[in-house]
Amino acid sequence: MHLAVLGATGAVGRTMLRVLAERRLPVDRLTLLASPRSAGTTVEWGGREWTIEVPREGSFRGVDYALFSAGGARSKEWGPRAAAEGAIVVDNSSAFRMDARVPLVVPEVNAEAARDRPRGIIANPNCSTIQMVVALEAIRRAAGLRRVVATTFQSVSGAGETGREALAREVSGGGGGESPFSRRIAANVIPQIGGFDAEGWTEEERKMIHETRKILGLPDLPVAATCVRVPVEVGHSVQVAVETEGELSVDGARAALAAFPGVRVSAGAEDFPTPLETADTDEVYVGRIRRDPHVPRTLHLWVVADNLRKGAATNAVQIVESLAR
């Protein structure tokens, strides 16, 4: 398999390479692409050195799969060109997620959607959406879905290396430097990820609403989200209130989640997952499963995952795995 990675030197790109090695995909040739400042440097992978190149015409000829994690502008520029040169593109940006001709895929939920790709591009969903829909699909198969309300607690690595650097700098008392956050993040929480629209919703909240509906194939599902940045380095947490169509007990929900691929369920109320404990793993962890005391057929879930792995790199690699099979 000839595989390309655009954005190979970024946090997600580097994680993609780690995940590819760990999952032992039969990759015998790599094309690693990044910005001009990384060109000419080398990366060790699979027992040999690979040289970083700048993308250009012909970079994707002969490539079977191209994993993109270089931002929306680069994806819009190079995604169609890579597909035209014959590669199947799996894009981690938001550039194509809501394009009706581009499937939005979480393999545990809708792997079959990846086979219908008129543009030759498959979109990787938003990190918080990925972990939430894995849990939601398990619940939907058991009792259907009527309404979803989510509050996220998203780590600074979701904003890239500049997010991690901003937190480290603030914690150490350093000044200056670039920050992707609208307020100080150290010792703080910020209920804003992305810009606000006219109705007061942020870009991240709108992503979760629209992407959840598309992945689940439920265009009219009521979904609301409040997305919050927290001073955690890696790992997103989501508190989800889910109203089901049918009755589902806490034990029934726990059983449905435990039987679902890629999910780990906490044993009891005091056994809950946190980002620190689940970092560097590929599963979606669910705990604190409770029945709402006032709203019928409503359960509350606490959902945690590593946003660089399952929320980005691992999900993209799993898409390639599902197609290669």
In the chain, what is the straight-line distance between the N-terminal and C-terminal CA atoms, in Å? 12
The pLDDT value recorded for residue 199 is 98
User: Topology of 2-125+312-324 in CATH?
Assistant: Rossmann fold (3.40.50)
Q: What is the pLDDT of residues 271-293, one digit of tens each?
A: 999 999 999 999 999 999 999 99
CA 294/CA 292 separation, integer angstroms: 6
CA distances from 72 to 57, 77, 93, 96 (A): 19, 9, 5, 9
- The yes-or-no verdict on residue 176 having pLDDT over 90 is no
Predicted local confidence at residue 114, as pLDDT: 97
Q: At 248, which amino acid appears?
A: L
Q: Looking at the chain, which residues constitute the CATH 3.30.360.10 domain(s)?
A: 128-307
Catalytic residue annotation: 127, 236
Residue 111 confidence (pLDDT) above 90: yes
65-68 and 88-91 as β-strands: parallel, antiparallel, unpaired?
parallel
φ/ψ of residue 16, rounded to 5: -55, -45
- Dihedral sign computed on CA atoms, order 265, 253, 319, 5: negative
Residue ranges matching CATH 3.40.50.720 in the chain: 2-125+312-324
Residue 260 · residue 138 · CB < 8 Å: yes
The fraction of the chain above a pLDDT of 90, given in percent, is 94
Whether residue 205 has pLDDT greater than 80: yes
Give me the phi and psi of 237, to 5 degrees please: -125, 145
Q: What is the pLDDT of residue 179?
A: 94
Does pLDDT of 175 surpass 80? no
Instruction: In the chain, count H helices and then E strands.
Output: 9, 13
CA 298 remoteness from chain centre? 26
pLDDT digits (tens, 9 = 90+) for 50-91: 999 999 999 999 999 999 999 999 999 999 999 999 999 999
Of 126-130, 153-157, 258-262, 269-273, the least confident: 269-273
Burial (CB count <10 Å: 0-12, 13-18, 19+), residue 12: buried
* pTM summary value: 0.94
CATH 2.40.50.180 assigned to domain 128-307? The reply is no
Give the model's confidence band at 177: pLDDT under 50 very low, under 70 low, under 90 confident, else very high: confident
pLDDT band at 310 (very low <50, low <70, confident <90, very high): very high
Sheet of strand 65-68, all strands in order from the earlier edge strand to the far edge: 42-45, 48-53, 29-33, 2-6, 65-68, 88-91, 121-123
